[in-house]
Structure 1
């Protein structure tokens, strides 16, 4: 007995390559369940199956995987073997339902990423993926008992949904994903890595018959967890693949770019029309002004000549003084006529066109995007897999301080903060765009090794609280960029919110 307990707790280092897809992310919450039965210190039985986390310290599995622990609690040890890391942990049976073939196990010493259940509709032909530890693979590859308690990534197999059935009074999903003994208790997933059911049995395939798997449906699981007072993380948003999401983003970006180009072309056409009109107005104004000058000069010349004629008449009447004054006035009018004619505007089309003024409307003021905001999820721009979609309330000021406690760093015209939690196996990139009032959360579901690297880089971040110092925010931005380089190129989830003023 002692040597088996030591074996159960031994450190078994097993390197593996981390993948960024949703199924691999879900696989980090899948475990192997082993049971070791002893009598008077001698091992008399050994069994194993699969399970998955529904809370950081609790896993769900089939009742038949751990029924020996229920019958003989003093003689059977339950081991929980994570899919990554270097340790195995002892579990404790806290709830079991033999009718539904479900059991809940609690453990301590590690926090696993819980899987999310899918609560939306499932249609025949939908793709399904089974994760777990099939016994036929273990028998072919295991060299010793220690191999059964060595952390390993679960094995995936893919099939389609074939319909709903009742199996001994329990609602189940019939599917074609390949499972074997040892898959019992493991999750049946959709392509976004959300749980559709708990694999429990398979049909026999004698004489070349096709093999089908049975997974306990989520409504049965929900009833069991509700009775066990265990919350069940779930969402019903239809699955959108990362490729589809990126394609939609590219399409939206292209549409936005085309709309911007069309707006620029229309603005240029309007500006050209406005300029042509301005040139025509300028030319017309120039012609009118030139004609006014010439008419004024002619009028002055006539008045001047008429005044000189009067001076001559006064001179014949021997009114010499009056004749001189009148002649001076007439001469002044003639001089003014000449000056007016000389100063008339020249008709130079190039100069007129260059001096034409086009009225430019002031830019439309963007609505203020700071202060208290209420942000609502925009499903059309989001990829939602494991998170809830409740509204998010933020209060951001001009220095990027959010909710009075979290400092965001400048990212172009936006504000950005990267969160690397200690108790969760995911990194979140939070970003707020004041000009468009858009808030987004981009989540990366990472392996333990990737999280360790991200936490090391987060430890170098000096700005913990809000700061009005631009240099401190610049340092935060550079530190966050170092964290970004440790993240995969492809995200797992992106939640995009449209925000409006809370007032």
Structure 2
């Protein structure tokens, strides 16, 4: 019966519209801010762990966990809280900043120098059948690996497990997310993540049963409980309520968009070609009629002048013996000569057939056609731009960004101070910050006026290598000789350290400021 119910549940889940699957890069990015929370005591000579759970950062120095994880610290002031990050040099200490036993939530403040990348909350309720991921430090995995007590203070990557949302329901006086991602003792306080690595809830407890055939379910304190708790503690966490799409879905949509744009461009070209053909045929006909009329008129006039020249010549011949001393003969001869010269001039200057082609070319140049075929001005000139995010082309896993302004120079200088590199036909600038474990690759296309930011969150060890690679070169100043080409080549060392795929992409459409 149980197996039948599980099968029916799986078939029901498959029948639902497919949501974005949790991507490994998103879960790994979120896991950078997931820590082991160790309750430690001392006998005066050594420090030893009493219990442990999981937590995750909501600010660089504030960590969410379950209230029951820190319950012993609240009851015994000789105990302390150790915060063990998943990567880096070692542990730090923290203190309880706020607690809600009713909601099973607690907030820990780091008291040392440890700084963590905060996780983003989803801000929207989980949907039945959505695939989710639980991240934490289950004790049974520690035991299976043979980890000793001392190993709890050593940075270790958290364990990730996947499952599906089975429903939203009130439990123990607070809203919970029921899901099938496996958790165990030690997972308490860890995040339940959606497909984009955003927090849906705080894992709290799981089902228990003496029957090994029973299906296992887990409960996470809902994000609807977490948000008010954080706000009451003075924390304004990063929240993203946008739909979650995988990078594969985004790439597929981008390919479809490009295909639509290419089809539209081909249609415009076909319309323009047809329009040009019609205009050329009309211009050809008009030119032919005009030229042929001109030729016929010139030939007729030349014929008339030739007849006049012949008549005047004949008259001059007959007047050679006139008794006026040859005056009338000379006048008639002059008229005959002038008429013949005029006839020859008109004959040789009549419009030729090549005039038809010239008139067609002039007509086509003077009439550029209709506005549908006109091409936009895409010259990569200097410009003051305002850029707005295009949500349908972006994958935003942190807080939605605001519009941005910048000035672009054809040499790749932004805002008069930041030089962009040029390589492989692209303008790019890599940013490797010292206070954040995320590399940003900014790019700009002057022709389409599209600005794009690809973000690559990295573990601390990978960031250390990236910072070393970035420190190996000095970015040239704006206007330096071959600045764009030099920077494009120098940045390649950092690019080689980046993952195959970013986990966040921000695409902006830019326009002239004030337009």
**TM interval, short-chain normalised:** 0.7 to 0.9
The 1:470/1:40 distance shift into structure 2, 3 A limit, reads: closer
Cα offset, 1:374, TM superposition: 3.2
In the TM superposition, what is the alpha-carbon distance from 1:198 to its structure 2 partner?
0.2
Tell me the equivalent position of 1:82: 85
Query: Which of 257, 260, 267 in structure 2 is aligned with 1:262?
Result: 267
Residue 292 (structure 2) aligns with: 287
Structure 2: how far apart are the matches of 1:224 and 1:338? 104
CA distance in 2, matches of 1:195, 1:490: 22
> Does 167-176 or 311-320 show the bigger shift?
311-320
Given candidates 118, 123, 140, the residue that maps to 2:122 is: 118
Q: Secondary structure at the residue paired with 2:118? A: coil
How far 1:501 sits from its partner (Å)?
4.1
Q: In structure 2, which of residues 103, 108, 113 is the aligned counterpart of residue 109 of structure 1?
A: 113
Count how many residue pairs are aligned between Structure 1 and Structure 2. 482
* SS of match in other structure, 1:234: coil
Higher mean C-alpha deviation, range 34-43 or range 20-29: 34-43
Q: For 1:325 and 1:241, how far apart are their aligned partners in 2? A: 101
Distance 1:193 1:343, change over 3 A: same
| Maintained 8 Å contact 1:311/1:322 | no
Deviations 1:346-391 (A, max 9, x none): 8768x95588515243965459975543332211111111133222
**Of 456, 481, 486, which residue of structure 2 is paired with 1:444?**
456
Partner of 2:172: 168
1:78-477 aligned at under 5 Å gives the runs 78-107=81-110, 108-207=112-211, 208-312=213-317, 314-315=319-320, 317-333=322-338, 335-336=340-341, 339-340=344-345, 343=348, 353=357, 356-357=360-361, 359-360=364-365, 361=368, 365-366=377-378, 370-397=382-409, 399-410=411-422, 415-463=427-475, 467-477=478-488
Map 1:16-35 → 2, pairs under 5 A: 21-35=25-39
Moved more, 204-213 or 326-335: 326-335
Q: What is the alpha-carbon distance in structure 1 between the residues aligned to residue 318 and residue 49 of structure 2? A: 147
Write out per-residue CA displacement over residues 449-486 of structure 1, whole angstroms, 9 at most, x where no aligned residue: 3212221222134237x522243343223222332222
CA pair 40-417 structure 1, distance change in 2 beyond 3 A: closer
Q: In the alignment, is residue 52 of structure 1 matched against residue 56 of structure 2?
A: yes
1:71 alignment counterpart: 75
Q: Alpha carbons of 1:367 and 1:158: their partners in 2 closer, same or farther (altered >3 Å)?
A: same
- 1:11-70 residue CA offsets vs partner (Å, 9 max, x unmatched): xxxxxxxx9611111111111122223455577862111111112223211111121122
Single out whichever of 376-385 and 448-457 deviates more from structure 2.
448-457
Offset at residue 426 of structure 1 (A): 0.6
Aligned-partner Cα distance in 2 for 1:44–1:392: 51
Q: In 2, are the aligned partners of 1:294 and 1:344 still within 8 Å (CA)? A: no
What does the per-residue CA deviation read over 1:142-196, in whole Å, with 9 as the maximum and x for residues that have no partner?
2422333332222222222222222221121111211111110000000100000
Q: Which moved more, 1:260-269 or 1:416-425?
A: 260-269
> Normalising by the residue count of structure 2, what TM-score does the alignment of the two structures yield?
0.84
SS in 1 for 2:88: coil
Q: Find the aligned partners of 2:301 and 2:210 in 1 and give their Cα distance.
A: 116
Distance 1:296 1:253, change over 3 A: same
Match of 2:509 among 478, 498, 503: 498
TM-score, with normalisation over the residues of structure 1?
A: 0.86
Provide Cα deviations, 1:245-269, integer angstroms capped at 9, x if missing partner.
1111111122222222232333333
Partner SS, residue 451 of structure 2: strand
2: CA distance, partners of 1:364 / 1:325: 70
Structure 2 unaligned blocks of 5 or more: 1-22, 369-373
Distance 1:250 1:364, change over 3 A: closer
Partner of 2:371 in structure 1? none
1:292-340 CA-partner distances (Å, limit 9, x unpaired): 2211121112212332344355446534513321342244156336625
In structure 1, stretches of 5+ residues that fail to align are 1-18
